[in-house]
Structure formats: C-alpha cells, structure tokens
C-alpha cells in the first residue's frame, strides 16, 4: 500500500516512519504546493498525510485507491470534506495534540496585550523610559474576555484566565449547556460578546460558515479600544476590516498567530503597525506536541489500512454510509 505525505515542515520524518514502518506500506515523502503536484503524487495512493497542500475536489476526484486522508493538526480546511465523503474516503485530524500549547500561546498574547509587554519593550529599546507611553493599562480582574468558540482549547484557556479573576463570556452555538455550567462561564450571542468584551480571543475552526465571521459589522459594535487575539485560523477574521479598525483606533491592538494568507507578505500593513503582535503560526508547537501530532496523524493511516477500522479522530462521520470498516478499537496506541 502506498502512503504519501503531501508536504511537511520538519527536519526529518522519524515519527511517521516509525509508525508506518511495515512491510505492506511504501511511504512517499513529497513537498507539493499545487493541485497538479498533489494529483501526480497521490493518484495511486492508498493513504495521504497532509499539511498545507490543497486536497480540493479536483484532486480528490483523481484519487483512484485512497481510503484515508489524515491531516497534521486540528483544522481540515485544506481538504474538501464533502468530496472525500462522496468518494468514501475517511478524513481524520489530530484535535487533541496541542490543547495546552495553543491555550498557553493565546494566554501569552492576551497578557502581552493587556500588560503592554511587546509595545513597552519596543518603546524602551527606542530610547524612552516612561510609563506614560504605555498607558492605559487596566486591572485584569475588572475585565471581560470573550471567547469565540468553546472547544477543548478555549475551555483550557478559560481555566487559566479564571485564576486571574477575569470574567469569561463565550459565543458558541454548538456547545452543550453542561459544559458551560461546568466551566463557570456565561454563554452569549456573538453580537453580545462583541459588545461586552474588553478582549476577544478567536477559537473557531475555519468553515464556510465561520469565514469572515469577525468582520466590519462585528467590529462596529465592539468597545472602542478592544483587543483581539487569533490563534485559530486567519480567514475567520476579515483582515481588511481589522486593519481599518486598527488604524482608526476602534481596535487598540491585536495578537495574531495566524493571518489570512501565510506566510506574511513583505509589504503587509501588519508589519508596520506598532499595535500588532505577530507569531508565525506556532501556537500548537512544543517538542512534545509535535511528536504527538505527527505520530497520531500516521496512526490514523494505520487505523484504516492495517486494522481495517475507522480512524480514532474521524472527521467526516457521514462516510460510514459509504464504507464498511470496523469501529475504532486500538486506543492504547494513542497514549502519549
């Protein structure tokens, strides 16, 4: 069986090779960037591991043998889920590998913005030792932070913020009531969250419904001087509307681990804005989380190809109407 890694950003592939080291598996490592390159590399593949290379309907329609696609990380926006489901291809991700890392990174960006760490550092390095240049700064336990989306990562973030005495409100139409109660947060509409929050942290996945969900209309009703953090996906926020709001002072500052188009262009307005803190899509990274993510992405392949079962982290559950695999049973392999 042929397994293709469409693209990756690692010095080596030892974790994947360790999991996929099997007499019946040929592992092919590529660095595809276009649909045509993916088609050429994957048309005869039985399994695919994907990072950023496009697995569009055009690509999936050309796959002859593929039974499973796994994606490094949580988001599956590089894969046309509907097309894969129609073709009977299981799609899996790794939703739990970096819960602490991403929540820690979001917390770091939040603290940097609220305590003016990054901007004050630059002011001092530019030769000014004067607290007045960093004002205003608010007491943390007087603030309300709004979390857009309330999956495992923002739930962990809420726990960490609550230790600081910060009030948490949440907008998520899919979260269960018992989760809200257990987490001691307040569920509100997205509109109310935008009106009430002193800082908004984005944790929604990128889908057709969430693309641009924080746009001109939402920004217009935010408090003047609000802060925004995004460790989810760049296109969830309308970048042009955000740039305008940063320039006119509606948004006081942002901390972004993700942007609309990555990597960032050399002439992007964010690069010249003192009130923008940027990190290079690294929120989920630690040595431990990288090993876990890469191993679990490979395990999703073996679930299907070697064990004949649905992958543990099956995304497109509707594919069960088109396939006849066993229920997932090999959980012990996933202990990290």
User: Does the active-site annotation cover 287?
Assistant: no
Residue pair 120/135 in contact by the 8 Å Cβ criterion: no
Residues 245 and 175 in one domain: yes
Residue pair 24/1 in contact by the 8 Å Cβ criterion: yes
Produce one character per residue of 254-292: b if its CB has 16 or more CB atoms within 10 Å, e if not: bbbbbbbeeebeeebebeeeebbbbeebebbbeeebbeb
Of 254, 278, 302, which one is at a domain's C-terminal end?
Answer: 278
Among 71, 156, 281, 294, the active-site one is 281
Among 233, 239, 260, 292, the active-site one is 233
Q: What is the pTM of this model?
A: 0.89
Can you give the pLDDT at residue 298? 98
Residues 70 and 203 in one domain: no
Cα 195 from chain centroid (whole Å): 25
Can you give the pLDDT at residue 104? 98
Q: CA-to-CA distance for 232 and 166, rounded, in angstroms?
A: 21
Q: Which residues, in sequence order, are bridge partners of residue 278?
A: 256
Residues 143 and 204 in one domain: yes
Can you give the pLDDT at residue 330? 80
Closest CA to 212 of 182, 185, 191, 234: 234
Residues 193 and 106 in one domain: yes
Can you give the pLDDT at residue 218? 98
Can you give the pLDDT at residue 178? 97
Range of the domain at 258: 99-278
Q: CA-to-CA distance for 233 and 214, rounded, in angstroms?
A: 12
User: Does the active-site annotation cover 262?
Assistant: yes
Phi, psi of 48 (to 5 degrees): -135, 135
Residues 328 and 179 in one domain: no
Q: CA-to-CA distance for 12 and 250, rounded, in angstroms?
A: 45
Per-residue pLDDT of the chain (336 residues; tens, 9 = 90+): 999 999 999 999 999 999 999 999 999 999 999 999 999 999 999 999 999 999 999 999 999 999 999 999 999 999 999 999 999 999 999 999 999 999 999 999 999 999 999 999 999 999 999 999 999 999 999 999 999 999 999 999 999 999 999 999 999 999 999 999 999 999 999 999 999 999 999 999 999 999 999 999 999 999 999 999 999 999 999 999 999 999 999 999 999 999 999 999 999 999 999 999 999 999 999 999 999 999 999 999 999 999 999 999 999 999 999 999 999 998 888 988
Residues 166 and 58 in one domain: no
Residues 217 and 320 in one domain: no
Q: Respond yes or no on whether the N-terminal peptide bond of residue 136 is cis (omega within 30° of 0).
A: yes
Domain count, the chain: 2
User: Does the active-site annotation cover 14?
Assistant: no
Residues 205 and 319 in one domain: no
Residues 177 and 145 in one domain: yes
Can you give the pLDDT at residue 335? 87
CATH code of the domain covering residue 255: 3.40.50.720
Among 36, 182, 262, 288, the active-site one is 262
Residues 294 and 150 in one domain: no
Q: In the sheet that 68-71 helps form, which strands lie side by side, from edge to edge?
A: 26-29, 2-5, 47-50, 68-71, 90-92
Residues 134 and 243 in one domain: yes
Residues 112 and 140 in one domain: yes
């Amino acid at each position: 069986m042929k397994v293709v890694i469409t693209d990756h950003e690692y010095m080596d592939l030892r974790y994947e090779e360790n999991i996929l080291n099997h007499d019946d598996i040929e592992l092919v490592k590529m660095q595809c960037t276009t649909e045509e390159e993916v088609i050429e590399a994957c048309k005869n593949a039985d399994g695919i591991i994907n990072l950023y290379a496009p697995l569009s309907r055009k690509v999936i329609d050309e796959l002859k043998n593929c039974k499973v696609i796994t994606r490094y990380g949580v988001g599956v926006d590089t894969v046309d889920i509907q097309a894969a489901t129609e073709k009977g291809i299981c799609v899996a991700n790794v939703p739990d590998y970096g819960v602490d890392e991403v929540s820690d990174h979001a917390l770091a960006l939040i603290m940097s913005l609220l305590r003016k760490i990054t901007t004050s550092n630059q002011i001092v390095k530019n030769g000014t030792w004067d607290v007045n240049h960093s004002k205003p700064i608010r007491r943390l336990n007087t603030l309300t932070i709004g979390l857009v989306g309330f999956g495992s990562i923002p739930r962990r973030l809420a726990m960490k913020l609550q230790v600081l005495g910060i009030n948490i409100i949440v907008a998520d139409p899919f979260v269960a009531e018992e989760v809200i109660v257990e987490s001691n947060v307040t569920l509100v509409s997205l509109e109310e969250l935008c009106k009430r929050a002193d800082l908004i942290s984005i944790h929604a996945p990128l889908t057709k419904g969430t693309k641009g969900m924080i746009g001109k209309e939402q920004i217009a009703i935010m408090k003047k001087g609000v802060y925004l953090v995004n460790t989810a996906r760049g296109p969830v926020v309308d970048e042009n509307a955000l740039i305008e709001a940063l320039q006119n002072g509606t948004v006081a500052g942002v901390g972004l681990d993700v942007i609309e188009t990555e990597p960032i262009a050399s002439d992007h307005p964010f690069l010249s804005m003192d009130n923008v803190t940027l990190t290079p899509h690294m929120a989920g990274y630690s040595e431990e989380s990288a090993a876990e993510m890469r191993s679990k992405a490979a395990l999703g392949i073996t679930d299907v190809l070697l064990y004949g079962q649905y992958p543990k982290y099956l995304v497109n559950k509707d594919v069960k109407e088109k396939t006849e695999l066993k229920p997932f049973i090999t959980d012990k392999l996933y202990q990290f």
